[in-house]
A and B are shown apart, each in its own frame.
Chain A
């Protein structure tokens, strides 16, 4: 009888490369955002289903006139997750640096997902401001994970400037368009020494899988899960897609051919 089993031998599902950023090992290659959920309960359920360890948060003014339950730490246990503060909404290096310092003063860690946005319509990064802020914050001891476009030269400059990870976009933030330029993402991964984590643009599980098949170290996503009709189910799909894509990358795909090659023997056919 043909062997049929859902259980892989241990070595078949093992990743020989631990996922390490700046000497810290993380257990999941999927990082998730905490924005845009219908409720805090749904957010927590989706994050748990995603298996993510790193979750991003934003820094904002406390709304002094509203009920004091909007702070995310009332819902998210900082002992259970690694909080990665972002500088979303910042349009200058100075602004992003201020937000990063405020985030660090919250007292959890010195990591920051650095965003310096250059354009309101596309939310594409201002790479000049991004480089400046990366240099300053790295000099202050921050562990900077820099959200950038899929341009190799910028990615190389960010690494030189001290970024501990470079985060090229798959496509614009919140667009769900999937990976627009796999060649650029692969090139960045091949040329950088620091981890490459694709951030933004993943719309569904196949997008996440294809991103991981390029050999990048991880993915960060928010809207792809939060804006699904069933975020908890999509979070599960994303977890499986990231694992599948990573395994497929490690397994090494077959070469592409423009002609068919039979899978069954061409000899031993009956004479007509």
Chain B
């Protein structure tokens, strides 16, 4: 019966580039990048200190509440 059980979490809280961010529960990395309007081919993602080299796997990486992501790209520099 509704109201007697703890509802499943509807959002996942994680840390992206140093800031707290929430995504719908069960979101994948590919979905996060799409929601940020980022082309996966133009960024590199480090998840909890490990670089995710295989961009084809982004759609299978389900984000977790303990995740710390770094999303980096190339900018002008000398």
- The reply to whether A56 and B16 form a contact with Cβ atoms under 8 Å apart is no
Q: Does A228 contact B (CB under 8 A)?
A: no
Given contacts A61-B70, A62-B43, A64-B17, contact A72 B51 (CB under 8 A): no
Given contacts A68-B38, A105-B53, contact A62 B72 (CB under 8 A): yes
Query: Which residue of chain A is the closest to B70 with respect to CB atoms?
Result: A61
- The reply to whether A43 and B46 form a contact with Cβ atoms under 8 Å apart is no
Q: Does A4 contact B (CB under 8 A)?
A: no
Which residues of chain A are near B37, meaning CB under 8 Å?
A: 68
- The reply to whether A62 and B74 form a contact with Cβ atoms under 8 Å apart is no
Which residues of chain B are near A200, meaning CB under 8 Å?
A: 78
- The reply to whether A61 and B18 form a contact with Cβ atoms under 8 Å apart is yes
- The reply to whether B17 and A85 form a contact with Cβ atoms under 8 Å apart is no
State the total of A-B contacts with C-beta under 8 angstroms: 96
Q: Does A58 contact B (CB under 8 A)?
A: yes
Which residues of chain A are near B78, meaning CB under 8 Å?
A: 33-36, 56, 58, 86, 88, 173-174, 200, 220-223
Partner of B17, one of A62, A72, A221: A62
- CB of B30 to closest CB in A, whole Å: 15
Query: Which residue of chain A is the closest to B19 with respect to CB atoms?
Result: A64
- The reply to whether B16 and A71 form a contact with Cβ atoms under 8 Å apart is no
> Which residue among B18, B51, B74 has the maximum number of chain A CB atoms within 10 Å of its CB?
B74
Given contacts A61-B17, A71-B42, A102-B51, contact A83 B76 (CB under 8 A): no
Which residues of chain B are near A83, meaning CB under 8 Å?
A: 74
Query: Which residue of chain A is the closest to B54 with respect to CB atoms?
Result: A105
Given contacts A73-B42, A101-B51, A106-B44, contact A33 B76 (CB under 8 A): yes
- The reply to whether B76 and A72 form a contact with Cβ atoms under 8 Å apart is yes
Which residues of chain A are near B70, meaning CB under 8 Å?
A: 61, 102
Query: Which residues of B18-59 have CB atoms within 8 Å of chain A's CB atoms?
Result: 18-19, 21, 36-38, 42-44, 46, 51, 53
Which residues of chain B are near A253, meaning CB under 8 Å?
A: none
Given contacts A64-B36, A105-B51, contact A58 B75 (CB under 8 A): yes
Q: List 13 A-B contacts (CB under 8 A).
A: A34-B76, A35-B76, A36-B76, A56-B77, A56-B78, A57-B77, A59-B73, A61-B71, A64-B36, A64-B71, A72-B73, A74-B42, A102-B46
Given contacts A62-B73, A105-B44, 10 further A-B contacts (CB under 8 A): A56-B77, A57-B74, A59-B75, A68-B38, A70-B75, A85-B74, A101-B51, A106-B44, A106-B73, A106-B74
